[in-house]
Structure 1
Amino acid sequence: MARRSSQNVFPTLPAVQWQPGLPVHGARSWVVVAGEAGLPAAAKEAGERLGVDLTRLLEVQRDTGFSPSAGATAAYPLLTGEVAEVLLVGAGDGTPAELRHAGAAIARFGRGKDELTTVVAEGIDDAGLQAFAEGVVLGSFTFHRKTVDPGRPVAGRITLTDGSAADRSAAVARGVVVGRTGWLARQFATTPSNEKDPAWLAARATELAATGGLEVTVWDEKQLAADGFGGLLAVGQGSVRPPRLIRIDYTPDGAGKDTPYVVLVGKGITYDTGGLSLKPREGMVSMKRDMTGGGSVIATMSALRELGAKVRVTGLVCAAENMPSGTAYRPDDVIRHYGGRTTEVKNTDAEGRLVLADGIAYAVEELKPDVVVDIATLTGAIKVSLGAMLYGGLFATDDALADNLADAGEVSGERLWRMPLPAEYAELISTPVADSVNSSKGPGSITAALFLKAFAGDVPWAHLDLSSIAESPRDEHEYSLGATGAGARLLTTWLTSDNPVAGIV
């Protein structure tokens, strides 16, 4: 059961709100969003308020190189009046993805400011306005442990308007919540591992559950041993900070026996040295983010009640720290997973699949879900297949499930590319010693997925290998340098859609 906590575990976000009509008293800084079609209709009235011809300003800025491509900016100081400056921000062709980029650019401009008034184009649909608000939240992301020069804080308030009398606050509010899941997952992944261990992750999950009407159960190392979670125990036994299995349960209001049931399983490796199959130094850098899958599951679960998800959902986070020591598991060890299936270890740096296997097996055997989806930064091989920052890998045993997840990826901006699960490659993970090996030569992301597939049985199952989109090399659009929190917005979008299991059950 969840322990109650009065701590505010959500991050401090800018207050993003919708304003019907232009505000009578605007902020000191105004933002006007310009798309390929030009300025919003309300720009004329806004310009009169500000004492500047915004159409002429856009022309001048274009002459000096400004383009209304998504996220482009041009600032213009005002020397008289109450408003100090106007920012032109490009929204490209006005698609949700381009509007998300524009929202992030506004958030970066707003750092250190108390308030921004932002004029957007009329006619933006709810999906576009939601994406815009998501971008504002994601572009505001900040994380540090500095004691000097911490940088400028996020904007205090960002007011959005198209000048009309319409109330669009619901779409904005949804965008803020979905953006917040991305922020939380990014925050979890960015937290240094001297602070973050499996027990820390369990504590954060418990605190967030208390705010979202969720139930939490946490297995410590003794209970994991008693219940036979051999994969989690093996991976975690080299560390002085023991593993945890975190279970979070959400049941929608009015749920009945026919309510579809989804289980998420997240990889929660709070630091990955590779164990005895030690990574090189360069390979260890950024391994604090190897729990991105687990962090995304926690962040997603925190939003389900607020967004009114219609399906039952259990989130399982398989948390361990993979360290070398005298007690660490070894190559050639044989471990027994939950439910009895055995694995011969060939590489202790292929640890993520070992902990996920326990979670998937537990879900199938004990929870009897309609759908299982696991999520992880699992392999470097997926980066070789898909490159960086464009697509995450999607493997699935059910076409409808694959389509539903891919659609959610397009909506959320965390896009997926479906990968094959050819039975012919199963021999690459065979061994005479156990039911399978955990590592082999060949197509690494595919063999990892085939390893996990065996634990899903006949339950419709999908595996998300998001190593390819888990880290951004720079501040760009809605991403900041470092961990992206990949998967939280994707899963939240999918689970809060009208029918996440359409075509499956």
Structure 2
Amino acid sequence: MLAIRLLAEPERLDVLALPVRPAAEAEPSAQPVPVAAVLPDGVADELAALVPVAQLGGDAGQTWTQVRPGRVPARLLPFGIGAGDEAAWRRAGAALARTAAGTEHVTLLLPATATPAAVRGLVEGLLLASYRFRLGADRAAPALSAVDLVAQDPADYVDVVASARTTAEMTRLARDLVNMPSSVKNPEWFAGQVADAAAGVPDLHLRVREPDELAAAGFGGIIAVGAGSANGPRLVELDWRPAGARMHVVLVGKGITFDTGGISIKPRAGMKLMRKDMGGAAAVVAATLGAAMLRLPVRVTTLAPLAENMVSGAAFRPGDVIRHYGGATSETTNSDAEGRLVLADALAYAVREHQPDLLVDLATLTGANAVALGKRTAALYSEDDRLAGDLLAAVDAAGEAAWRMPLPTDYVDYLSSDLADLYSAPDQGAGSVVAALYLREFLGELRDRWVHVDMSAPSWTEGGDAELTPGATGWGVRSLLRWLDTLG
């Protein structure tokens, strides 16, 4: 991963990155931002002359490369910082990481007025946009190797750089887990990755339930969804228990390591990226690991129900009745609506066994999420205005996107089954909304302290944009860590 250091004086000046802000009133063009360090002779004048010629407007995400053969620095990288807030600096850092891809080292001079939030955004942008994932024989596309941040008082930024580094590392872990092909990734493999990541982290406890234990304990949804696969299901339970914690949050993440749709089989086009169907589980596991590494003073229990939804003679069928943990039953109308079945078990278990203060689930649950909100925005459901508002604020601060959706009571009747307690996937439409209403039925007294996030669409991107790179986005890790940090 990209190495980042904080320094009081530059040690290398071969490649120098300098911030540029948009023009203020009565200024003819964008302007270089005064920085904490002394610039090499002639650089300030050259930069001032370059900005208008290069048509740098100073917007966040704008960059320019000025080559200076035989001089020091050998390259100047002026980059726009826009409004100068955290979001703008995050975008600026991402653009700089792309512009300098393949460069061994960049020295970036921070403004004397840079806020800790701005530096946090910068570091996250640099680290996330330099992410690469490739399993082929050819080397992955080059990435920036090292950045020195030169500040007037580096001590002012030590904590936010450390926090940003951990947040980015955990987001990159979630991306790795989601990007891994399902020829490698199955429930047992995923559980092993969690065990490896959690090893040695103080006050972090891991329990993995295997198929026989799941069956004996009554996790009927997880068992049913995993029944058609040669790779048995698992339930990962990861618990961060800091001393003195006054708040207990349970996070639940859908973990379908590959989804054929089961007997209600998907077409080829809908199946080829189904290695991403465990994006919710990856996000909540990574966020819990991050909470432990950051020593956040809130107890976090993560539940990741893991299964591979395959087609075989043992696969569950449309019309089957499944008995979930706690005893409620579902009539399965569509084996391609499997995620809610494993989540139902995990939610019922969370309520019955943990009785947390707050409960949040993340799931790549429905294609209807993208129909309603597009590719970049998750759908958020909650009955509690304050809880929904707090989580939406954290999502916004983290640079992700979500929109609150309704939970209309008149749709609840769609869930009524003559054979079981609930239909798992009614045919009346409103797919994302009805899926949320179905999950709510397993919450009991916690239904007003629960948030459901349908993040299927923003869990993946085909092209790079700002801090995102092609493939898995790690959506939710940054948002959850921001939110958890407000609860202590």
Kindly indicate whether residue 301 of structure 2 is the aligned counterpart of residue 314 of structure 1.
Answer: yes
In the other structure, the counterpart of 2:14 is 28
The farther-off stretch of 229-238 and 173-182 is 173-182
In the other structure, the counterpart of 2:97 is 107
SS at match of 2:464: coil
In the other structure, the counterpart of 2:75 is 85
One-letter identity of the residue aligned with 1:61: A
Q: 2: CA distance between counterparts of 1:435 and 1:321?
A: 25
One-letter identity of the residue aligned with 1:58: V
User: Equivalent residues in 2 for 1:193-232 (5 A)?
Assistant: 193-213=182-202, 214-232=204-222
Deviation string, structure 1 residues 107-129 (Cα, Å, up to 9, x no partner): 22333222111123332322221
Q: 1: CA distance between counterparts of 2:114 and 2:194?
A: 36
TM-score, normalising length from structure 2? 0.94
Kindly indicate whether residue 328 of structure 2 is the aligned counterpart of residue 341 of structure 1.
Answer: yes
SS at match of 2:77: strand
In the other structure, the counterpart of 1:173 is 162
Deviation string, structure 1 residues 331-350 (Cα, Å, up to 9, x no partner): 00000000000000000000
SS at match of 2:301: strand
Q: 1: CA distance between counterparts of 2:314 and 2:259?
A: 16
Q: 1: CA distance between counterparts of 2:138 and 2:117?
A: 40
Q: 2: CA distance between counterparts of 1:289 and 1:49?
A: 51
One-letter identity of the residue aligned with 1:370: D
From 338, 341, 358, give the equivalent of 1:354: 341
Note closer, same or farther for the CA distance 1:44–1:18 as it changes in structure 2 (3 Å cut). closer
In the other structure, the counterpart of 2:27 is none
1:323 Cα deviation after fit: 0.6
Q: 2: CA distance between counterparts of 1:292 and 1:455?
A: 22
Q: 1: CA distance between counterparts of 2:381 and 2:346?
A: 17
Note closer, same or farther for the CA distance 1:27–1:324 as it changes in structure 2 (3 Å cut). farther
Preserved contact between residue 244 and residue 297 of structure 2 (Cα < 8 Å): no
Q: 1: CA distance between counterparts of 2:295 and 2:154?
A: 27
Preserved contact between residue 237 and residue 327 of structure 1 (Cα < 8 Å): yes
1:163 Cα deviation after fit: 4.5
1:97 Cα deviation after fit: 1.4
Q: 2: CA distance between counterparts of 1:119 and 1:57?
A: 18
Deviation string, structure 1 residues 238-293 (Cα, Å, up to 9, x no partner): 110010000000011333xxx11100000011111111100111101211111000
From 385, 392, 395, give the equivalent of 1:399: 385
1:157 Cα deviation after fit: 1.7
Kindly indicate whether residue 462 of structure 2 is the aligned counterpart of residue 490 of structure 1.
Answer: no
1:472 Cα deviation after fit: 1.5
In the other structure, the counterpart of 1:447 is 434
The farther-off stretch of 488-497 and 142-151 is 142-151
One-letter identity of the residue aligned with 1:219: R
Q: 2: CA distance between counterparts of 1:272 and 1:74?
A: 44
Preserved contact between residue 428 and residue 442 of structure 1 (Cα < 8 Å): no
Aligned residues: 477
1:160 Cα deviation after fit: 1.5
1:173 Cα deviation after fit: 1.6
In the other structure, the counterpart of 1:58 is 51
SS at match of 1:32: strand
In the other structure, the counterpart of 1:18 is 6
SS at match of 1:372: strand
Q: 1: CA distance between counterparts of 2:34 and 2:19?
A: 11
1:233 Cα deviation after fit: 0.4
Preserved contact between residue 104 and residue 136 of structure 1 (Cα < 8 Å): yes
Note closer, same or farther for the CA distance 1:328–1:165 as it changes in structure 2 (3 Å cut). closer
Preserved contact between residue 290 and residue 481 of structure 2 (Cα < 8 Å): yes
Q: 1: CA distance between counterparts of 2:150 and 2:474?
A: 29
Q: 1: CA distance between counterparts of 2:226 and 2:305?
A: 10
Note closer, same or farther for the CA distance 1:166–1:301 as it changes in structure 2 (3 Å cut). closer
1:44 Cα deviation after fit: 8.4
Q: 1: CA distance between counterparts of 2:400 and 2:185?
A: 25
- Segments of structure 1 that go 5 or more residues without pairing to the other structure are 1-12, 501-505
1:101 Cα deviation after fit: 0.9
Deviation string, structure 1 residues 83-141 (Cα, Å, up to 9, x no partner): 32111212211121121111111222333222111123332322221111111110011
In the other structure, the counterpart of 1:331 is 318
Deviation string, structure 1 residues 336-382 (Cα, Å, up to 9, x no partner): 00000000000000011000111000000011111111101111111
Deviation string, structure 1 residues 387-424 (Cα, Å, up to 9, x no partner): 121x2111012222111111100110112211111111
In the other structure, the counterpart of 1:479 is 468
From 23, 41, 59, give the equivalent of 2:34: 41
Preserved contact between residue 36 and residue 150 of structure 2 (Cα < 8 Å): no
Q: 2: CA distance between counterparts of 1:183 and 1:490?
A: 14
One-letter identity of the residue aligned with 1:225: A
Note closer, same or farther for the CA distance 1:47–1:39 as it changes in structure 2 (3 Å cut). farther
Preserved contact between residue 132 and residue 141 of structure 2 (Cα < 8 Å): no
Deviation string, structure 1 residues 50-70 (Cα, Å, up to 9, x no partner): 5862111212211xxx33222
In the other structure, the counterpart of 2:271 is 284
Cα RMSD of the aligned pairs, angstroms, is 1.7
The farther-off stretch of 50-59 and 267-276 is 50-59
Q: 2: CA distance between counterparts of 1:249 and 1:281?
A: 38
Q: 2: CA distance between counterparts of 1:52 and 1:322?
A: 63
Q: 1: CA distance between counterparts of 2:290 and 2:435?
A: 30
Q: 2: CA distance between counterparts of 1:95 and 1:143?
A: 30
Q: 1: CA distance between counterparts of 2:166 and 2:252?
A: 22
One-letter identity of the residue aligned with 1:278: I
1:27 Cα deviation after fit: 4.2
- Segments of structure 2 that go 5 or more residues without pairing to the other structure are 24-30
SS at match of 1:424: helix
Preserved contact between residue 371 and residue 461 of structure 1 (Cα < 8 Å): yes
One-letter identity of the residue aligned with 1:435: D
One-letter identity of the residue aligned with 2:316: Y
Q: 1: CA distance between counterparts of 2:45 and 2:16?
A: 12
Q: 2: CA distance between counterparts of 1:27 and 1:174?
A: 27
